[in-house]
């Protein structure tokens, strides 16, 4: 019998023998849709900072670590990057935000910390749309990373797993090249203009 894993305590599985292609992976249903009472915030060293932002945007992109793809996703969606910070808007309005990370162990661990910070109520008031996990390399996803993605993604209101785009390595920023990206862009465009999504905020 397979034992259920606690997404905030249990370490990811270390088994790496099995691999799965990105196209075959189906992300789990989101589990947490709003901050929860009683959740403990992460250590100070693992928290994202807060920063007062000038201007406005329909959507703010928060990279949970360096190299997360924050700027790439912001450009793709016509959104604004926050430089790895929770945005605080002048006037006290509540920004819509999207967390972004890479699909390696470092990136997923950083995303878990950011989600723990949000779900514990230790962030500014934001409308968190979800988490986008960008592939960190071409080819198959190791099973350990696939399993950890399921654990981390369960802590977000919504989860998108995005494949590797080889054209971006040589500066072709016009290519998204997959149905996953097209679906992602459509989802975000809908959510960014949907007034009901503010119900999943704190």
Domain locations in the chain?
Answer: 49-193
Phi-psi region of 88 (alpha: psi -120 to 50; beta: other; left: phi over 0): beta
pLDDT of residue 173: 77
Looking at 12-16, 63-67, 110-114, 140-144, which range is the least confident one? 12-16
From the list 131, 114, 148, the residue with the least C-alpha distance to 191 is 131
Q: What is the mean pLDDT of residues 126-132?
A: 95
Q: According to the CATH classification, is domain 49-193 in 3.40.50?
A: yes
pTM (2 decimals)?
Answer: 0.78
């Amino acid at each position: 019998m397979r034992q259920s894993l606690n997404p905030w305590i249990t370490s990811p599985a270390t088994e790496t023998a099995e691999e799965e292609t990105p196209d075959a992976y189906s992300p789990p249903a989101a589990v947490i849709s709003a901050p929860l009472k009683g959740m403990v915030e992460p250590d100070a060293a693992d928290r994202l900072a807060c920063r007062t932002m000038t201007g406005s945007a329909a959507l703010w992109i928060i990279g949970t670590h360096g190299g997360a793809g924050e700027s790439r996703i912001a450009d793709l969606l016509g959104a604004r990057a926050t430089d790895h910070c929770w945005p605080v808007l002048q006037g006290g309005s509540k920004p819509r935000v999207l967390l972004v990370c890479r699909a390696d162990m470092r990136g997923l661990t950083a995303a878990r910390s950011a989600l723990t910070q949000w779900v514990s109520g230790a962030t500014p008031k934001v409308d968190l749309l979800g988490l986008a996990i960008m592939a960190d390399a071409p080819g198959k996803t190791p099973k350990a990373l696939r399993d950890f993605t399921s654990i981390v993604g369960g802590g977000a209101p919504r989860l998108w797993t995005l494949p590797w785009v080889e054209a971006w390595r040589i500066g072709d920023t016009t290519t998204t090249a997959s149905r996953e990206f097209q679906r992602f862009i459509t989802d975000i465009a809908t959510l960014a203009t949907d007034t009901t999504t503010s119900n999943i905020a704190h």
